[in-house]
A = this chain, B = another copy of it.
Amino acid sequence: MARTVSPENEAIRRQQIVSAAHSVFIKKDYSKVRIEDIAKQAKLSKGAVLYYFETKEDVFLALFEWLTQLVAQRFEAAVETSTDPLIQLDNVVDQAFDSVKLHRAFFRIYLDCLGQGSRKEEYARINRAFYQACHEHYRKIIENGQRKALFRDIDVTDASLVMRAIIEGLGVQWLFMGNDGDLKHYGKLAREAILRYHGLEPSELAFKSINEINSLAPLGAR
């Protein structure tokens, strides 16, 4: 019932505007997007946009926050789905490299906002929150893997940083050098790199069930 366009709720209008900004921001970069573009996309007036957000920048901050929270939530869901760390990892990686369109769209906006964030504290704050959320979920996988003695016993915080680096770093490279067909390959690369980092030989794990895997000691323990 709360999903109508009716203005009973400020949050709805704000989300309506943020979604519109999202659509527009995919095509043009920050400096080229006009409030009018967002208003038009949201089927609102310019005045309405500025009524719900103090400034244009506030719209983009809200967008950045919404988008990163969305992705973080997907990471959470990816982890919650299973108790098997290998499947959790697969899900997280899939989620990150999945859905070509969303991926490109996310990275475009993400990079733009990262650029902003490298200088403006508001953007940086949101991005830090995003990283923290990521690490919270990545950590669960790593701790789970270590608890089950599948992953080698290393510092979880460090491992999470490396995991995020591999996922994000390959994602950006795909954005610039890959094509739609490559996406799965980049995902596979990320998965393998993360597993190796944790002392597993990915080739041995392919298509194996958790039970079978459990009979394999991690590399570092062999």
Contact = CB atoms under 8 A, between A and B. Distances in A.
B162 A166 contact: yes
A205 interface: no
A165 interface: yes
A115 interface: yes
A191 to B, nearest CB: 11
Interface residues of A, number: 47
A119 B29 contact: yes
Contact of A161 (B127, B128, B189): B189
A20 B169 CA distance: 30
B117 A176 contact: yes
Contacts of A186: 161
17 contacts: A29-B120, A107-B118, A108-B118, A111-B118, A114-B172, A124-B176, A131-B177, A162-B166, A165-B166, A165-B173, A165-B193, A166-B166, A166-B193, A193-B193, A193-B197, A197-B197, A222-B222
